Each structure stands twice: as C-alpha cells, then as structure tokens.
Structure 1
C-alpha cells in the first residue's frame, strides 16, 4: 500500500516530471504554475512506493482564486465542493493502488471538513478511457461537458456525492 504525505517543494521536480509524462491528459505545468497551484490547494499529497514519489493529487476548495474554465464551471453551480485539479500516477506504478489511495485520503479529508461533493473532469477528446473507468469505479457521474483549451479538448465534468 502506498504511503501518503503532504507534498512539499522538495517534491516539485518529480511532480513536474510525472505531470509532463501525462500532459495530454492533464495540462502543461511549469514550476511557477505548480507553486501557484500548491498555494491554492486545500489538498496536495504525494504517494510513495518504496520511498519514491509514485503519484500526486492536487485539489482545491470552492472559493479559491483559481482562473480555470473547469473550476469556474463548478463554482458557478455548487456552493461547496473540493475540485480535483489533477491526479497523476507514474506509469511504472500502475496497478499498485496509488490513485485509489490518494482518492480515499481526499475523501476522508472531505468528510472531516464536512464537504460532501468532490468534482473533477477528464478528457473525452482526446479520449481518456482509463480515467473514465477509474472515476466510474468510485461512483462519479457526469454533470456536464465543455470544450476547453481553445476547443482542442472536450471534457466530461464529474461529481461525486460522498456518503457520510
């Protein structure tokens, strides 16, 4: 089982490498952007496997000063939520429950804070069937779709209502 801890600046180089490897499914992120997102985040954890950073999850609460089309979509519709900006797991760690462990930790934090709604999106175009299947296993449902990145991506906007 992966070990989790809060992300720190010492992890940023590996986080950027992980993100770059999956940039088609996430979005570009340089050090300046990562530092900005880290400051906005209400949850930014890394998962360690054998002492190595295997993945990360970065999320923020409603009310963050985050200029992002997908975040804005949720902000305009829901009063209280946690928005998953990105989760990335290194390819060599696939199948080791890294993503699931990160999600379970986020859900536990949300419950502790009295937040029942988790939001996120994944690509429909270009397709990301692995993310679609991953989110379906947790019970996320589509609540909308929108074109982003200058029309180069179509995303499925997803919501999960956590049980108490």
Structure 2
C-alpha cells in the first residue's frame, strides 16, 4: 500500500536511509522534517504493516541547499526533483521502486508538472540506479562533482509524455511517395 509519509514513519525512514547512505546521502531527523515540510510528495510503501520503501520529492523554489536540487532549481521552472528513493534490502526487486515512481508520475500529471528530475551517482557508479532511471526514460542533461569532489553525478530529466517507442509500431513508407 502506498500512502503519504507521516511523522510516525520518520524513525523507519531514517533507518532505511542509513542502510543506503553510501548511495543516497546522510539524513538526520531535523533534515528529514525540513524536507518533509517542503516536499511536493513524500510517500511510503507499507508491506505487512511496515514501511518497506519511501520516496521524497521536492518542487521548484524550495529552501533546500542540495547542489543537485539547485542545479535544476536555477535552470528549470516546472519540475519535481526526486531527492531520494530507498527500498529495504529485503524488498529489493519486488517492484516497489517502480510503484513509487508510477505514483509520483501520476502526481506530476495531476498537477501539470512537465518533468521529473534526479541525479545518479556515476563516480562511484551506482549501476542499479543508472539502469533503473534509463529504463524509466530519464536522460542525462548534465554532470557535476559533489561531496567535495569525491563523487560525480549524472543529472537526469524525464520530460513526461516523451517516452514513446523509438520505432513506430506501424512502420511508415521508407521512400517518399511518388508525385
């Protein structure tokens, strides 16, 4: 079941984030409260009564000092920035990440948001995130060093409504029609 995150979920969200801090970023209770209060969407997946995954996303113009968020906030006006999505180890590959992204995509469509944006670690490489975001239709729009240069990220965007197949289902003529 996907639902809005609540303060009663914060301890579990911090626990999940801590387990994946090496591919997300550190998060303490004060920062989580700040992000939650300024989020466009903060959702959790509940499995058997326990929070198994969460997604936290922020819209433009929010007071957030993440260099990755700022990259988009300076140059793009109509977006939702996916700050972090975390799935518990025991629920990996069960479709929870896709379910959260589908939920966020529906949110974006309901609110007329043109694009979803995020970053993916490329140094060191987070291959699972890279593959996931490519499959979802995200394309690289830039790169930047972060964490004092110890990491490099690929900044990605998915312009909603642009994930049409590369090849038409019904092939058209290969030569111009004769006149």
User: What is the TM-score of this pair, normalised by structure 1?
Assistant: 0.96
Unaligned runs of 5+ in 2: 163-179
Q: How many residue pairs get matched?
A: 162
Structure 1 equivalent of residue 76 of structure 2: 78
4+ residue runs of structure 1 moved beyond 4 angstroms?
A: none
| 1:9-158 equivalences in 2 (<5 Å) | 9-158=7-156
CA distance in 2: counterparts of 1:134 and 1:51, whole angstroms: 26
Which structure has more relative contact order (CA 8 Å, sep 6+)? It is 1
CA distance in 1: counterparts of 2:40 and 2:56, whole angstroms: 8
Cα RMSD for the two superposed structures = 1.0
Deviations 1:75-108 (A, max 9, x none): 1211110000000001100111110000000000
Q: CA deviation at 1:60?
A: 0.6
Higher gyration radius (CA): 2
Unaligned runs of 5+ in 1: none
